[in-house]
Amino acid sequence: MCFRRSSVWIGVAKMVPARQKSVARTPNSVVQRKSKIKSYRQSYQSMTAASRLCLTRALTSLWLNTSRTAPKSDNILDKVDPRQLASLMKTEWQLSYVTPLYQFRYTQLKSYSRQLSAFMAAEKEQVEDGATQNFKVSFSVVHGLVETDYDAETILIQIYSKSFFAGQNEHQKPVWKGWLACVNGNRDYINSLPKEFISLPLFGSSGTEALTALVKSWFQKNFDCCFGSLEINHISLQWLVALWTNYHAESNIKQLQMIWTLPVQPLLQVSYAVNPVDAWELWCSVKGDQPELVDLSAGSLSSVSTALGSAKCRGQIKISNSKCMTTTLTLLTECALLKMPI
């Protein structure tokens, strides 16, 4: 990645040892899984060979969005309940992709809440401190967090915990939150799905890994779907830098921090902290003709953060300002669709 140097000092580099941990990659082969009623795989085989649903991931990238433009100004507060929006913001989410859900019904959310609660009660020995806790699950629709008529409405899932020894008047507290979303999804892909399937490809979770595993297991058993890890590669991180910096004129980003991992021995991380004025001038100068470049293309961008949000290559995202919610979720929805193993 190259940044064109403006006439101002753009930051101070700081080198620190990087973690020697490799990032797991999803295989290109189709994920094997058990079928509940009518398998996702069988539904693909029953479609014609011309269907885009049957394309491999390499070919899928050809008909998904391949170009991006500057985001339109959008006041999400006019469309989404502020209380629900608050549940999504200022929380670090671990991202996953999800294959389409079979026979998921928005009219059955109350029933799903009871079913998942019962499932967790039966499996609670897998949960930390499960012997002393009851769990209550709440499914709700986040109305308005869509961009097109063919986007499915976002689903918010919250799990509350109450100890057996707690008083009856004691307020229940959420111990886990998660959501499934499709914001500005690809029209051709969504239209190619059979009517029994609904596309909510982006999944975010915040809570213990044990609770996340239980939620995923319940979804897989009931909706014949599968989950996979969703890393945010360096190209998508660069796009997030561009998207968030573009909002500086409306919202002060305060500081832009970028961390690169360089392939040297021992591994090093290069951290740049850029003040908002310099970041804005740097952004505005990208289309200029100045020849001098700061070239970090030998490394890989692994983390970005501003006052608007933060993102890490291992799939963690935090959105701190509602103004960039829609554009950020649009980019992540595209990443989720591209990551699917079919």
Q: Is residue 59 part of a domain?
A: yes
Q: Are residues 183 and 224 in the same domain?
A: yes
- Give the domain-ending residue among 203, 229, 255: 229
Q: Are residues 107 and 140 in the same domain?
A: yes
Q: Is residue 220 part of a domain?
A: yes
- The answer to whether 200 touches 180, Cβ cutoff 8 Å, is yes
Which residues, in sequence order, are bridge partners of residue 139?
A: 157
What are the tokens at 263?
A: 């392939």
**pLDDT per position as a tens digit, 30-52:** 333 334 334 433 333 333 222 33
Buried b / exposed e over 243-267, threshold 16 CB at 10 Å, is bbbbbbeebebeebebbbbeeeeee
Q: Is residue 71 part of a domain?
A: no
Q: Are residues 141 and 265 in the same domain?
A: no
Integer Cα distance of 55 and 338 in angstroms: 11
What's the confidence (pLDDT) of residue 283? 57
What's the confidence (pLDDT) of residue 50? 29
Q: Are residues 89 and 203 in the same domain?
A: yes
Lowest pLDDT segment from 51-65, 282-296, 324-338: 51-65
**pLDDT per position as a tens digit, 189-208:** 999 999 999 999 999 999 99
Q: Is residue 336 part of a domain?
A: no
Q: Are residues 144 and 222 in the same domain?
A: yes
User: Quick one: which of 60, 79, 40 has its CA closest to 225?
Assistant: 40
Q: Is residue 210 part of a domain?
A: yes
- Give the count of domains, the chain: 2
Q: What percent of the chain has pLDDT over 70?
A: 65
Q: Are residues 216 and 236 in the same domain?
A: no
Q: Are residues 88 and 187 in the same domain?
A: yes
- The answer to whether 108 touches 201, Cβ cutoff 8 Å, is no
pLDDT band at 289 (very low <50, low <70, confident <90, very high): very low
What are the tokens at 117?
A: 């609660």
- Give the domain-ending residue among 195, 214, 229: 229
Please provide the distance, in angstroms rounded to a whole number, between the alpha carbons at the two ends of the chain: 29
Q: Which residue has the higher pLDDT, 276 or 73?
A: 276
**pLDDT per position as a tens digit, 144-202:** 999 999 999 999 999 998 765 455 555 667 899 999 999 999 999 999 999 999 999 99
Q: Is residue 334 part of a domain?
A: no
Distance set, CA 76 to CA 81, 242, 334 (Å) = 9, 20, 20
Q: Are residues 236 and 206 in the same domain?
A: no
- Give the domain-ending residue among 171, 195, 229: 229
Q: Is residue 331 part of a domain?
A: no
Give the residue numbers spanning the domain of 302: 2-20+232-322
Distance set, CA 301 to CA 54, 238, 257, 285, 309 (Å) = 33, 8, 11, 20, 16
Q: Are residues 151 and 171 in the same domain?
A: yes
Q: Are residues 175 and 277 in the same domain?
A: no
Q: Which residue has the higher pLDDT, 20 or 231?
A: 231
Q: Are residues 159 and 282 in the same domain?
A: no
Quote the pTM value: 0.73
Per residue, the 3-state secondary structure of 186-226, as one string, reads CHHHHHHCCCCEECCCEEEEECCHHHHHHHHHHHHHHHCCC
Q: Are residues 185 and 247 in the same domain?
A: no
What's the confidence (pLDDT) of residue 297? 62
Q: Is residue 338 part of a domain?
A: no
User: Quick one: which of 245, 321, 285 has its CA closest to 8?
Assistant: 285
